[in-house]
Every structure is written in C-alpha cells, then in structure tokens.
Amino acid sequence: MGSRIWRLYLAGGVVAIAAYFLVVHVTFVGSLVYDLIGLSSVAAIVRGVRRHRPVRPVIWWCFAAGMLSFVIGDVLWALLDEILHVEPFPSVADGFYLGGYPLLALGLFVLIRGRTCGRDRAGLIDASIIATGLGLLSWIFIMEPVAADLSLSLSERLISLAYPLADVLLLAMVARLLTGPGARTTAYRLLAAGLGLLLLADIAYAGLTMFSVYAGGPVDAGWLLSYVLWGAAALHPSMRALSEVAPEQATRLSPSRLALLTATSLIAPAVLAYQHLQHQAIDALAIVLGSVVLFLLVVMRMSGLVSQVQDQAAQLDALAHNDGLTGIPNRRAWDLELPREMARARRQGWSVHVALLDLDHFKGFNDEHGHQGGDRLLKEATAAWRQQLRETDLLARYGGEEFGVLFLDSTFPQVADVLGRFRAVNPLGQTFSGGVAQWDGSESPERLVARADRALYNAKQAGRDRIETAIPPAAAGRDRPAESEALGSSDTAASKQEPSQTAPAVTHGQVGAGPRLGGHDPHDMGRRDLQSPAPSP
C-alpha cells in the first residue's frame, strides 16, 4: 500500500481538479475545492516526511511551508473578493503569495547543496546562463512594462514587480537543480514537473493580466496540478534518496544541454532583433547588460571545458605511459624517454648507463604465493627501488618481471652502488639478476638496450642473483669468443666473495678501447672499483 499511495493521491488530485472546473462558478464552492486541493498538498508533504524520514527533512518542511503560504494567500484572496467584496490587489494576500517563493527557494537551495559533492562549477554556470537569459526576457516583456505603467500606484507597481522577480529567483534554483548532479528518481521528476507548472502558470497569468483582467481559467489548472505534484513527490518512497550526495564526476555537456545553453545565450540578440523588427524602442541598457553577463558566463564555461579536456588528456597520458600495477613508467614511456635522455646526454656530455633487471624465479614465486603475492612483490620491489634513485634517473617496467633503469651522469661504481642498494632492499627475500651497459656515445638506443639485455642473459645463465656488465660495442663486435672467456673468469672471481657480503656480484667482460664519458673510463675498472663503496648518484 505504501508504494501505491502516491499514485492514489495523484489520481485523486486529478479528479479533484476536474471537479473544481465543474463547480468553479458556484459561489464559495469553487474556492473551497481550490483551497482543499492546496491543503492536501501540505498534508501529503507532512505525511511523506513522517513516513519516509528523509536524510534532510528541512527541505520538505520548507516546501510544506511554501505551499501553506500559497494556500493562506488563496484563502485571504477569496475572503476579500467573494465575502468582503474588497479589491484583493494589492492586499495582505499578496504578502503570503510572495512569501511562499523564498521558502520554496530555500528548500531547493538545501536540496541542491545536499546533492552536490564538492564544487559543481559547470552546473552553477549553466544555471546562471539559463536564469540570465530568461530573466532578461522577463524584464523586457513583463517587468519593464509594469515599471513604466504610471496608471498603477507605487505599491501596485512594487508588488507587480515582486511577482516576476520571485519567479526569476525560483527559476534560477530550478535551473540549478536540473543542471546539477544527483539521482533522477521518480520523486525528482514529480518535483521538477510541479516546479515547471508553477512557473508556467505564473508566466501565463502575468501575460494575461497585462491585457485584461484574469477571471479564472486554464491557468488555475497549472497551479492546482502543481500542488498535486508536490504532494505526490513527497509521498513517493524515492523522496528519501532525493537529497543524497551524488558521486563526484565531471558535468557532461549533452546535446540537449548544449542546445538549451545555446538558445538562452542567443536571447539577448533575439530580443534586439524583435524590438527592431517591431519598430519598438530598443531597451539598450538591459540588452547590453544581459549580453555582457551572458558572454562572460559562456567564456567561463568554455574555460572550464578547456581545463577539463586538458585534465582528461593528462590522465590519458598517465594511463598510456604508466604501469597500472606498480605506478612506474611502462615500456611505452621507456621507449620514448630513452632516446630523449640520450640526446640530452650527448648535448651535456654526460655518461649514460642502462640496466635491465629481472626478478629471479618469479614464476615459481607466483605459483607458490598466487597472483596476489606476485603483484605484491612487483609493487614492493619497485617502491623500494625508487627510493634509491635520483630524480634524474628512470625506473620503468620493461615487461613482466623485467625492469629497466636509466642512469644519467653517473660513474660505473656509482651505478654498481645503487644496484647494490637495490639488492639490500629487495622485498620478501627475493633476488634479481641484472645486466648493465654503458653508452659509447654513438650507438642507437636499441643497440644499447640489446647489450644490456645480453648481459642480463649472461647473468641468468651464470646462476642468477648477480649483475653482469656488457662488453663495449667495439670489443663485442671484434671478438665474440673473448666475451665468454672474460665472463667466465669474472664469475670465478665473483664466486670467491664471502657469502655474508651484501653487495651484488658484479662482473664485466673483456675491456677494450672506448670513449671516456662523464670523466670516468668504464674500461679501467678492476674488482676493487666494483666492490668498494662509492658515492650515491
């Protein structure tokens, strides 16, 4: 029954509205039916708040107070007009009519604030554009003629101006509600429809009274149906979620929204064209002010869109160039940065070292501890290694459990010292193998990485948990058998180290003539150079 009560109320309200038009010409009866429909809306809101207990009940109490203020105005108007036979305009009834609008606006303000997570700058600007454009129309066609009508007394003009101003206030809140975030529930749609009918009925009434005296008619249907829709919205169970905070997300500029903003932005020139074609006096000041405000709001909106596009481009760039698991640069970023850094090193006269590292027996670790354990090892290893590097160095995930490290302007002992610290902080008791190659100043990035990869392969073939240095390009191209012999002798020397040493086993192949980079000759490094402490890069 609870989920159907709003339907019953809505259907009963439609029947009551139809009955009103049947008895509207009967003295007192029509006014009584009219006022009872308004009171039913207030009662329905109170019932809905007590039954559904929304998170922010103050919203609905403001709505109920606004509806009640309208009903009191209706009662006083009928009393003055039908019983006391006194001109009801201007009168105390207008005070209650006008007092209802700020109450409704206050409830909408609290509702909008409750539905918004953080700042919704785009929604606020869109609502301002709509309210400014429609407010300009209200001034040109409703408020200005009233203000210029000298046949009205001062109080009549002020009250007559207050009604469209109240509508503009409510219109601004409605535009903000419609352009803001939040769930579009049934209660939301019923409430929006009630607000729309209220504003349309007010505008129609203002237009009719400019040319004649209003004596009832279809406009009443708009006000009465608005009452019923407010009550139905409060009775619907989704009213509980109406003020829930919406997830923070970028405001989407849909085609319908863009069309609405475009139309309202063109209101000022459209009014100017209309007045010119109708040979009317041009309201230059209002049109200029409206145009300036609309132009500035559109520029602000465009600025926000540009910033949003730039932010999204930066996010896409980060997703494209960062590894999703470890957060470090990925293979694509490595392939882009390595040639750039090598070109910069050539200009600066810096040395360049490239190391390829491979976590030993990673597949077995992954099989034993599961994929979550393997992911943990990759993340903890990269986090620990990054702390040992300078800002100018680059650590990237080369693929799988293999990583690339780029050292700029470092000597080989410094590189060896950093890799030794890598080994000391490697997590979960795991080891890694590595290959290091120094750039000769002329070879391509692919050749440099290929030499480091060959050295890594030699380290893994030699038993893992060690680091091999690559043979310089000239020596490697001249004598391939010598490389195997040199690596073998280096391995033998490495095997004589004490097991308690924490530095990694670092070997290098046969050396030959090569360039000096960064003031250090990579081909004149003995075992003592590689094992002694060196300053951190």
Over residues 453-504, the pLDDT tens digits come to 999 999 999 999 999 999 887 655 544 433 333 333 333 233 333 333 333 4
pLDDT score, position 475: 57
461, part of any domain: yes
Q: What digits encode the pLDDT tens for the residues 388-419?
A: 999 999 999 999 999 999 999 999 999 999 99
CA dist 461 to 353, 410, 479, Å? 22, 27, 20
Backbone φ and ψ of 435, nearest 5°: -130, 135
pLDDT score, position 121: 84
Confidence check: pLDDT of 212 > 90 = no
Confidence check: pLDDT of 39 > 80 = yes
Residue 476, both tokens: 């490697």
The percentage of the chain sitting over the pLDDT mark of 90, rounded to a whole number, equals: 65
Q: Which one is predicted more confidently, 319 or 50?
A: 50
10 Å CB burial of residue 283 (0-12, 13-18, 19+) is middle
Q: What digits encode the pLDDT tens for the residues 288-329?
A: 999 999 999 999 999 988 888 888 888 888 788 899 899 999
CATH of the domain at 72: 1.20.1070
Amino acid type, 362 = F
Q: Say how many C-beta atoms besides its own lie within 10 A of residue 400's C-beta.
A: 11
Amino acid type, 263 = A
Residue 441, both tokens: 């100043």
30, part of any domain: yes
pLDDT score, position 254: 81
CATH of the domain at 515: 3.30.70.270
3-class state of residue 438 by DSSP = strand
Confidence check: pLDDT of 47 > 70 = yes
- Per the CB < 8 A criterion, the answer to whether 405 and 395 are in contact is yes
3-class state of residue 433 by DSSP = strand
Does residue 240 sit in the same domain as residue 383?
no
Strand pairing category for 466-469 and 432-438: parallel
Residue 169, both tokens: 């206030």
Q: List the domain range (segments joined by +) for residue 348.
A: 331-531
Amino acid type, 183 = A
Q: Which one is predicted more confidently, 2 or 440?
A: 440
- Mean confidence (pLDDT) of the chain: 85
Q: Which one is predicted more confidently, 49 or 121?
A: 49
> For residues 204 and 20, what is the distance between their CA atoms, to the nearest angstrom?
20
Does residue 286 sit in the same domain as residue 404?
no
Backbone φ and ψ of 432, nearest 5°: -145, 160
pLDDT score, position 221: 94
Does residue 221 sit in the same domain as residue 355?
no
> For residues 113 and 107, what is the distance between their CA atoms, to the nearest angstrom?
10
- Per the CB < 8 A criterion, the answer to whether 512 and 488 are in contact is no
Does residue 237 sit in the same domain as residue 359?
no
How many structural domains comprise the chain? 2
**Residue 432: its H or E element:** strand 432-438
Confidence of residue 247 (pLDDT cuts 50, 70, 90): low
Confidence of residue 451 (pLDDT cuts 50, 70, 90): very high
Does residue 225 sit in the same domain as residue 366?
no
Confidence check: pLDDT of 214 > 80 = no
How many Å is the maximal CA-CA distance in the chain?
120
For 431-439, what is the mean pLDDT?
95
Q: Which of 357, 369, 364, 485 is nearest to 425 (CA)?
A: 357
Q: Which one is predicted more confidently, 213 or 228?
A: 228
The neighbouring-strand residues paired with 509 are none
Confidence of residue 511 (pLDDT cuts 50, 70, 90): very low
Does residue 377 sit in the same domain as residue 423?
yes
For 512-537, what is the mean pLDDT?
32
324, part of any domain: no
Does residue 287 sit in the same domain as residue 405?
no
To the nearest 10 degrees (0 to 180), the angle between helices 121-138 and 255-265 is 40
pLDDT score, position 529: 33
The neighbouring-strand residues paired with 508 are 469
Residue 185, both tokens: 């529930």
Backbone φ and ψ of 61, nearest 5°: -65, -35
CA 503: distance to chain centroid?
48
Confidence check: pLDDT of 532 > 70 = no
Does residue 340 sit in the same domain as residue 405?
yes
Amino acid type, 296 = L
The pTM of this model reads: 0.65
395, part of any domain: yes
Amino acid type, 19 = A
pLDDT score, position 57: 94
pLDDT score, position 1: 53
323, part of any domain: no
Confidence of residue 183 (pLDDT cuts 50, 70, 90): confident
Q: What digits encode the pLDDT tens for the residues 358-379?
A: 999 999 998 899 999 999 999 9
412, part of any domain: yes
- Per the CB < 8 A criterion, the answer to whether 115 and 180 are in contact is yes
Confidence of residue 525 (pLDDT cuts 50, 70, 90): very low
Does residue 339 sit in the same domain as residue 395?
yes
Whether the bond between 90 and the residue before it is cis, its omega within 30 degrees of 0, is yes
Residue 517, both tokens: 């980079």
Does residue 288 sit in the same domain as residue 375?
no
Residue 222, both tokens: 């708009």
Does residue 508 sit in the same domain as residue 380?
yes
187, part of any domain: yes
46, part of any domain: yes
pLDDT score, position 488: 32
> For residues 62 and 438, what is the distance between their CA atoms, to the nearest angstrom?
75
Q: What digits encode the pLDDT tens for the residues 5-16?
A: 999 999 999 999
Does residue 360 sit in the same domain as residue 225?
no
pLDDT score, position 215: 75
Residue 69, both tokens: 């203020």
